[in-house]
């Protein structure tokens, strides 16, 4: 009796151990699947490089080309999130309108359905044997610099297929179709009830939001359906919920972003929610139509045809889910693509711009904490932020020019003194903003540089770190000039003569021209920029500074103005020349030239 009790205890422990082992295999295979998808997407983005961004910028002449572009790019990089983030960054930069972005996001919803077809194939056939040669080829290519991104892609694909194969084997090992408790659980829901569809729709949304991966939830749904445990209508409802769940994540991430990013994220949610609403009215006929395309018989009952025929029919459910996912998004896009202007007005009405003055309120507009992208996309975001930084520095210099005009004896009145103080305080605020922007952009780039990057991306990060440092120096120069002008204004006695104002305006005009050229480069493609134009302008600034320096000594000796006025005058001239040097440094960093010592 004791030996029987001991044997039963050992058997129960073994059974519990095997149950835990199966659960861990299921979780581990899901982790492999998610990691493989991420690795594939990053490798494809590294291989494509800036071409993806150029395609997004160029192939959006109308709503249909925008939709096609979103479809092709998403199918290429296997990540609708990557496409959406790139699109939002272009909207923020003014390269795309919100309407164009909506059309691209619609296309991204179609392109992402390719993932479901890959998974359905992996679930239906044993692909694990093909994985190991791919691993071997991938590791060889990874150690070859020229082909290492192809190796990264093969490794990601291998992990994806290995995860799918392990999931398939684990699902078969669990015998879910014969698990009476699981069957009773799903049978407790009335398959003909509309409430059941809503419950599973919400369940799919919550699951996707929790695991942060629609691919993982899709894989679980395929296992349950193909094993015969989960009826097709509930499985389709889970897939519909996944479409909504994946948009919740992006909307929460966009809460800390700017207005256009939040509008684009909300448009994505509106697209999927609208699709779910209309399909609920024709849910069963639509699902039956898709099942007919694939060849799945919805009327087969296990007790009537036998286990073998039932499971053979259920095995087709993987392709039913993929076909539904594709047809749902295609039809939804076909319906909504005609109403993009109305959708744009609706999201603009819902998402109002923030009341704060974004010009005066320090906040990074392109780099947001909620959107942590792949390194390649993070670099794009940083480039847009640096472009904004550069524009801000030219506006700051324009304020310095205005401050100089207000300091002249002709413009000095009681009413303008308050305006002068207000403008000077605004320049002080800009100087503080430039310090903060340099620090936050540099910290962001340092965090990105910790990832596995291509050599081209590493070089870009080094150049951008140099750019933000030089741009902050431009801000310092502007502030130094403002302080000098404020010091002169406070004396109320020492005034520049007319010639000095003329020379200062001419020097500042040259400096502003250099800033304009710099911003043209920062907002365009460096291949189309001629660096000699900036260098020639720098030489012109240097020569003019030397000329004014010599003339200043002569004018002081001739008692045209006092030595104190001449000192303030030359401080402004020299600061303009320094600013010109910083501009050249920014341009050279952007063009890929090595750092040089400033004069």
Domains parsed from the chain with CATH numbers: 194-355 (no CATH), 375-591 (1.20.58.220)
Distance (Å, rounded) from C-alpha 278 to C-alpha 528? 49
Quote the pTM value.
0.65
Give the pLDDT of residue 530. 83
398, burial (CB in 10 Å: exposed 0-12, middle 13-18, buried 19+): middle
Distance (Å, rounded) from C-alpha 108 to C-alpha 120? 20
pLDDT digits (tens, 9 = 90+) for 43-69: 766 766 556 556 665 555 677 888 888
* Residue whose token pair is 């151990």: 17
Give the pLDDT of residue 7. 42
Distance (Å, rounded) from C-alpha 145 to C-alpha 392? 39
pLDDT digits (tens, 9 = 90+) for 246-292: 777 667 766 666 677 778 888 888 988 998 898 888 888 888 888 88
pLDDT digits (tens, 9 = 90+) for 195-227: 888 888 888 888 877 776 677 777 777 777 777
Do residues 196 and 240 make contact, with C-beta atoms less than 8 angstroms apart? no
Q: What is the mean pLDDT of residues 164-181?
A: 66
Instruction: Quickly list H helices, 282-412.
Output: 283-294, 302-305, 307-314, 317-336, 340-350, 375-406
The secondary structure element, H or E, covering residue 502 is helix 498-523
Inform me whether the pLDDT recorded for 357 exceeds 50: no
Which tokens sit at 518?
A: 């710099």
Inform me whether the pLDDT recorded for 35 exceeds 70: yes
Do residues 59 and 92 make contact, with C-beta atoms less than 8 angstroms apart? no
Cα dihedral 168/300/279/322 (nearest 10): 30
Which tokens sit at 245?
A: 């769940």
Among 39-48, 305-314, 439-448, 505-514, name the one with the lowest average pLDDT.
305-314
* 285-294 long-range contacts, CB within 8 A, separation 24+: 286/324, 286/327, 286/328, 287/232, 287/233, 287/236, 287/324, 290/320, 290/323, 290/324, 290/327, 291/232, 291/320, 293/323, 294/319, 294/320, 294/323
Inform me whether the pLDDT recorded for 4 exceeds 60: no
Give the pLDDT of residue 441. 87
Give the pLDDT of residue 507. 93
């Amino acid at each position: 009796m004791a030996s029987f009790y001991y044997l039963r205890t050992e058997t129960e422990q073994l059974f519990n151990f095997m149950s835990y082992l199966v659960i861990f295999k299921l979780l581990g295979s899901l982790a492999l699947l998610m990691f493989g998808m991420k690795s594939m997407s990053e490798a494809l983005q590294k291989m494509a490089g800036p071409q993806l961004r150029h395609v997004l910028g160029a192939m959006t002449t109308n709503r249909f080309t925008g939709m096609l572009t979103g479809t092709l790019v998403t199918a290429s990089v296997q990540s609708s999130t990557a496409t959406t983030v790139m699109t939002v960054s272009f909207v923020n930069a003014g390269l795309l309108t919100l309407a164009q972005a909506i059309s691209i996001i619609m296309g991204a919803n179609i392109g992402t359905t390719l993932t479901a077809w890959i998974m359905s194939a992996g679930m239906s056939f044993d692909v694990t044997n093909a994985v190991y040669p791919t691993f071997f080829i991938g590791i060889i290519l990874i150690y070859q610099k020229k082909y290492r991104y192809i190796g990264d892609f093969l490794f990601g694909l291998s992990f994806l297929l290995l995860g799918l194969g392990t999931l398939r084997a684990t699902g078969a090992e669990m015998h879910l179709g014969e698990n009476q408790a699981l069957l009773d659980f799903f049978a407790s829901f009335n398959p003909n009830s509309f409430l059941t569809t809503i419950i599973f729709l919400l369940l799919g949304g919550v699951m996707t939001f929790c695991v942060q991966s629609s691919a993982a939830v899709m894989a679980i749904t395929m296992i349950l359906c193909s094993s015969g445990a989960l009826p097709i209508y509930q499985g389709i409802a889970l897939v519909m919920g996944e479409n909504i769940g994946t948009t919740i994540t992006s909307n929460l991430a966009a809460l800390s972003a700017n207005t256009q990013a939040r509008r684009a994220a909300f448009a994505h949610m509106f697209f999927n929610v609208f699709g779910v609403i209309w399909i609920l009215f024709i849910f069963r006929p639509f699902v039956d139509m898709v099942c007919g395309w694939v060849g799945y018989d919805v009327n087969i009952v296990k007790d009537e045809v036998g286990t073998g025929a039932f499971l053979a029919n259920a095995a087709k459910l993987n392709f039913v889910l993929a076909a539904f996912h594709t047809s749902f998004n295609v039809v939804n896009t076909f319906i909504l693509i005609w109403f993009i202007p109305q959708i744009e007005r609706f999201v603009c009405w819902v998402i109002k711009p923030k009341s704060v003055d974004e010009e005066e309120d320090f906040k990074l507009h392109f780099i947001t904490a909620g959107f942590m992208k792949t390194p390649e996309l993070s670099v794009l975001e940083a480039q847009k932020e640096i472009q904004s930084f550069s524009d801000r520095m030219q506006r700051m210099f324009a304020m310095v020019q205005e401050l100089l005009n207000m300091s002249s004896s002709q413009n000095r009145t009681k009413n303008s003194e308050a305006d002068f103080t207000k403008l000077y305080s605004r320049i002080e605020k800009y100087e503080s903003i430039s310090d903060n922007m340099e620090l936050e952009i540099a910290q962001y780039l340092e965090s990105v540089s910790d990832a596995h990057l291509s050599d081209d991306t590493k070089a870009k990060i080094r150049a951008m770190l140099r750019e933000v440092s030089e741009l902050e120096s431009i801000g310092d120069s502007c502030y130094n000039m403002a302080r000098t002008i404020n010091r002169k204004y406070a004396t109320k006695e020492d005034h520049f003569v007319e010639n000095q104002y003329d020379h200062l305006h001419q020097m500042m005009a040259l400096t502003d021209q250099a800033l304009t050229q710099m911003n043209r480069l920062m907002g365009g493609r460096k291949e189309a920029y001629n660096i000699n134009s900036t260098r020639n302008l720098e030489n012109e600034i240097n020569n003019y500074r030397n000329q004014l320096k010599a003339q200043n000594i002569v004018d002081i000796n001739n008692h045209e103005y006092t030595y104190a006025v001449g000192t303030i005058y030359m401080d402004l001239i020299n600061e303009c020349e320094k600013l010109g040097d910083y501009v050249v440094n920014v341009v050279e960093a952007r063009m890929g030239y090595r750092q040089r010592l400033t004069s």
